[in-house]
A and B are shown apart, each in its own frame.
Chain A
Amino acid sequence: MERLIELALRTVALTSIAAVALILAFIAREALPVFSGEALGESGTLLDLVRPAVLADGSEHFPWQPVSEPPKYNVVPLVIGSLKVTLVALLIAAPLGIAAAVYVSELAGKRQRELIKPTIELLAGVPSVVIGFFALIVFATWVQRAFGTEHRLNALTAGIGLAMAVCPVIFTVSEDALQAVPHAYRTAALALGSDRVQMIARVVVPAALPGILASVVLGFGRAIGETMIVLLASGNAAIVSGSVGVSTKTITATIAQELGEVVVGSAHYHVLFALGTVLFASTFVLNFAGERVIHGLRKKLGSA
């Protein structure tokens, strides 16, 4: 009986490993015809997904036109769109989240700390579709008015919305890293005659730096995989542009918008799964790296 239960628990515990393996297997299976070039037509190769098309006047462009005839699947605008929106989000969320973590961990009193921390965690609990709604209906107008952007929905609006979702992640992980710095480091710094600012800037933050960097990496993973906020707030036009003021389409929003309407087994269907596979692989690597750094930091500070 005892052995049986243990065996049963072990089997159930394998679910998580099975889930990760199945996710990879099933999305990669549907993506395979793209990576082999098979789904992209007779002479199709993977390069077709990134090579610019040349127009009659000699100018180059990168068309994502999956429903035109013939369909064109150039993923360059989507990749650029995802990176652009993520970059905007991180440029806002990283300084805010890290600074707030320093404040809550090092400067705030106990009561303030006990109030602020759960409140920011509450922000993490706001569903992304609600943040997307808020960006679309409410602050898109503010952003356009304030920055005079070309389109009402654009990478900047989506990036600000994403920052709201990513900020709690960066805050929580950074705050944990700062808290993991042993008390002895602080007292030692003070005993050597440094003031509080020197202690924070030269001892505590450097000691926690790997964790703080990991928080940004995890934030990056969260931002690039976020769907509903960008789907609602970015405008969803596949334009290659360096400006954050124009309508932008991301990888995630493309899948969400187009998968419902594709013919199962068509080239378009397989390309969407290929995009999903790339997304899965990149977030997997980012998360793995982030977790490793945090784990290493804990070990180091714990033994110190």
Chain B
Amino acid sequence: MRSQTVELQREPRARAPELLLLVATGAATAIILLALAVLLADIVAGGAKVISWEFLSAHPRRGLTEGGILPAIVGTVALTLLMTIAAVPAGVATAVFLTEYAPADSTLARAIRVCIANLAGVPSIVFGLFGLGFFVSTVGRGIDRVLYGGELVYATPSLVWASLTLAILTLPVVVVATEEALRAVPREIRDASLALGATQLQTIVKVVLPHAMGGVLTGTILAISRGAGEVAPIMFTGVAYFLPHLPSHFNDQFMSLSYHVYVLSTQSPNIDQTKPLLYGTVLTLLALTFLLNLVAVLLRAKTRAKVHATE
């Protein structure tokens, strides 16, 4: 690089195109960053003055024009918690199978990889259709027929179906992050463990997975952040416009921060009256997803640094 700088100084003609490229690509980068900055500034400016303990801990009142967003917060937490319980074990197991057991170029491993990649690209509204057609109308109806003699208990949009729909949507996030971390665990550590007489399972559970914990955690956090922001997959599988009570059963409907943003944006009879609440909800949702993303980014940087240190 240094020798090239010297050469550029000797040939001033070469500088104009370089400057042009620098300005053009730099400007494009600046535009993207500026768009993010404007978005954040507007939301923080509009939402900061709304957020208070009262706003976060009260129920909505007077047709969503007053009060707080407690049920939406509780709903989002319950939703992402159940989603995590389903998605993380399945995702980690898939990643462990792919890296530790399946031969890298086996047909099965390749088929699983193709499906994971494509699952990540399925439009979220398609997950909504699927959740309604599969979980609510098929699995739910099946449960009702077998356990409740056809009475309507689970064949209706509810917390559990929305969570499972989101779990499938976020599965690739967990798999990809965990796989990356598992691959970063040096071969020698596995060999050392096996050489000391540990079985493959013991090696995975006691040696490999603890090393990859950062990746598992990163994947979990990214999945929660992604799940908390989604609307389309939960629209037909369990989220509600307004509920007077907090959800207490798997088959209850629930409110969510993300859907609440949509509701307040579109269904309000008087947008100026709802605007402060809308901004407060958006800021709460964004703060939640951003904080989670930030933690994931830092965690990933730390894991990568550690991997490089051991190499």
Residues of A in contact with B (beta carbons under 8 Å apart) = 1-2, 5-6, 8-10, 12-17, 19-20, 22-23, 26-27, 29-30, 95-97, 99-100, 102-104, 107-108, 116, 118-123, 125-134, 136-138, 164, 167-168, 171, 190, 195-197, 200-201, 218, 221-222, 224-228, 231-232, 252, 255-256, 259-260, 264, 272-273, 276, 279-280, 283-284, 286-288, 291
Q: Are A279 and B126 neighbours in the complex by a CB distance under 8 Å?
A: yes
Shortest Cβ gap from A291 to chain B (Å) = 5
Q: Are B97 and A13 neighbours in the complex by a CB distance under 8 Å?
A: yes
Complexed CA–CA distance, A125 and B11 (Å): 44
Shortest Cβ gap from B119 to chain A (Å) = 6
Query: Chain A residue with minimal CB distance to B96?
Result: A9
| B contact residues around A227 at 8 Å (CB) | 123-125, 231-232
Q: Are A252 and B133 neighbours in the complex by a CB distance under 8 Å?
A: no
Q: Are A12 and B261 neighbours in the complex by a CB distance under 8 Å?
A: no
Q: Are B32 and A16 neighbours in the complex by a CB distance under 8 Å?
A: no
Interface flags, B190-232, vs A, CB<8A=1, else 0: 0000000001110000000000000000000000011011111
Q: Are B123 and A280 neighbours in the complex by a CB distance under 8 Å?
A: yes
Given the known inter-chain contacts A119-B36, A127-B289, please indicate yes or no for A27 contacting B28, CB distance below 8 A. no
Complexed CA–CA distance, A130 and B279 (Å): 10
Partner of A133, one of B27, B175, B278, B297: B278
Shortest Cβ gap from A10 to chain B (Å) = 6
Given the known inter-chain contacts A26-B130, A27-B126, please indicate yes or no for A19 contacting B119, CB distance below 8 A. yes
| B contact residues around A288 at 8 Å (CB) | 114, 118
Complexed CA–CA distance, A132 and B115 (Å): 29
Partner of B33, one of A116, A201, A228, A272: A116
Size of interface on B: residues with Cβ below 8 Å to A: 90
| A contact residues around B42 at 8 Å (CB) | 134, 138
Give the dominant DSSP class at B's interface. Answer: helix
Cross-chain pair count, CB within 8 angstroms: 265
Shortest Cβ gap from B69 to chain A (Å) = 14
**B78 contacts the other chain (Cβ, under 8 Å)?**
no
Given the known inter-chain contacts A13-B97, A255-B125, please indicate yes or no for A100 contacting B28, CB distance below 8 A. yes
Q: Are B39 and A131 neighbours in the complex by a CB distance under 8 Å?
A: yes
Q: Are A125 and B285 neighbours in the complex by a CB distance under 8 Å?
A: no
Residues of B in contact with A (beta carbons under 8 Å apart) = 4, 7-8, 11, 14, 17-18, 21-22, 24-29, 31-33, 35-36, 39, 42-43, 89-90, 93-94, 96-98, 101-102, 108, 111-112, 114-130, 132-134, 137-138, 168, 171-172, 175, 199-201, 225-226, 228-232, 235-236, 258-259, 261-262, 265-266, 271, 275, 278, 282, 285-286, 289-290, 293-294, 297
Complexed CA–CA distance, A224 and B123 (Å): 8
Complexed CA–CA distance, A12 and B286 (Å): 33
Q: Are A122 and B115 neighbours in the complex by a CB distance under 8 Å?
A: no
Given the known inter-chain contacts A123-B35, A126-B286, A127-B230, please indicate yes or no for A232 contacting B262, CB distance below 8 A. yes
Shortest Cβ gap from B143 to chain A (Å) = 17
- List the 10 closest A-B pairs by CB distance, nearest first: A127-B229, A225-B123, A99-B28, A103-B25, A287-B121, A12-B93, A13-B97, A100-B29, A125-B293, A9-B97
Complexed CA–CA distance, A171 and B115 (Å): 24
Complexed CA–CA distance, A54 and B8 (Å): 67
22 contacts between A and B (CB under 8 A): A8-B93, A9-B97, A10-B102, A23-B130, A26-B129, A26-B134, A26-B138, A27-B126, A96-B31, A100-B25, A116-B33, A120-B32, A122-B294, A122-B297, A125-B289, A126-B36, A127-B286, A129-B259, A137-B275, A226-B123, A227-B125, A232-B262
